[in-house]
Amino acid sequence: MDESKIRNDQTELLMNAVLSLETLDDAYRFFEDVCTIAEIKSMAQRMLVASMLRDGVKYQEIARLTGASTATISRVNRAKEYGADGYNRVMERLEAKGQLLHPEV
């Protein structure tokens, strides 16, 4: 990976903790302890926005369906296009497992 803007000992601990999660239940328990409900919902919304952008859904439709602001949609799109490639890698892996679905919004 190229030079990360967030890599340090603290974030290394966090990323290793995430990688240690073995089940969906583990993930729910960990994130509920580590994040606020609002933070989890925000991250979940961004994943949904990224998935919809990948499918070519227009900004206005994404905003209507998800409640995300156009600023958030634009930020996610910018990260997808010019960021560290995290969204794209995760979505490719989820799609390969048949887990990249648009839940009811």
Same domain for 26 and 43, yes or no, is: no
Burial 5-38 (b: 16+ CB within 10 A, else e): eeeeeeeeeeeeeeeeeeeeeeeeeebeeeeeee
- pLDDT tens by residue, 50-88: 999 999 999 999 999 999 999 999 999 999 999 999 999
The pLDDT assigned to 50 comes to 96
The pLDDT assigned to 5 comes to 86
The pLDDT assigned to 4 comes to 80
**Residue-number span of the structural domain to which 23 is assigned:** 1-34
Same domain for 23 and 53, yes or no, is: no
Stated pTM of the model: 0.87
The pLDDT assigned to 104 comes to 62
Same domain for 19 and 51, yes or no, is: no
Q: Which residues contact 21 (CB under 8 A, 6 or more apart)?
A: 27, 30
C-alpha dist (Å) from residue 74 to 3, 80, 90, 95: 24, 10, 19, 23
Q: Which residues contact 91 (CB under 8 A, 6 or more apart)?
A: 50, 51, 54, 100
Same domain for 86 and 58, yes or no, is: yes
Q: Please say if the pLDDT value at position 2 is more than 60.
A: no
- pLDDT tens by residue, 12-59: 999 999 999 999 999 999 999 999 999 999 999 999 999 999 999 999
- How many angstroms separate the CA atoms of 16 and 9, rounded? 11
Same domain for 43 and 73, yes or no, is: yes
What's phi and psi for 45, nearest 5 deg?
Answer: -60, -40
Is the separation of the CB atoms in 30 and 21 below 8 Å?
Answer: yes
Same domain for 23 and 9, yes or no, is: yes
Same domain for 46 and 67, yes or no, is: yes
